[in-house]
Amino acid sequence: MPDYRRNRVPGGTYFFTVNLLDRRRRLLIEHIEVLRAAVRNVRDHQPFRIDAWVVLPDHLHCLWTLPPGDTDYSGRWRAIKKAFSKALPETESLSEVRRARHERGIWQRRFWEHTIRDERDYAAHMDYVHFNPVRHGWVTRVADWPYSSFHRLVRAGVYPGDWGGGGEVEGMFGERGGE
């Protein structure tokens, strides 16, 4: 196995992509309340700020800011995945490796993380998170996707309600936005 290293900035802001193991399943939106409860429970014990979040049927993207001095986003993801998995009935098929490790077959083992570098990087990833349902063809307007922090950010005046209303959104953003 390669020597995989994660970047850790105390109190940093991070962009994440977290995927289901079986990308054909729709577990995340079918069990959205279970996911929300898992996140709330983890935040109660290990606080972090949710800057942006979108949940799609088979994966999610989000931006978090950790408290000053804190770098443990991996522990938080482990706890969220575990709580979500434990709340679902065991219907997935398991590989011999997962069975031997007493693992569920719900989540991909790892997640993708990017440390936000500056305001431009932050804005690009905020836009990527919120435009993702349009990009994947789930809706034609960002405002039509119900599982998104976009609605909260419209109420806060961060985005206009018609942002991402179809077609292209100005600017460059994405998992590799500008890198």
CA-to-CA separations, 95 to 80, 81, 84, in angstroms, rounded:
22, 18, 20
Reading the block at residue 155, the tokens are 């109420």
Exactly one of 14, 73, 128, 147 is catalytic; which is it? 147
Strands (DSSP E) found in 21-171: 49-55, 59-65, 112-115
Nearest to 61 by CA among 7, 136, 9, 119: 136
**Does 128 participate in catalysis according to the annotation?**
no
* Enclosing H/E stretch for 34: helix 32-45
Pairwise CA distance, residues 136 & 54, whole Å: 12
Please identify every residue annotated as catalytic: 147
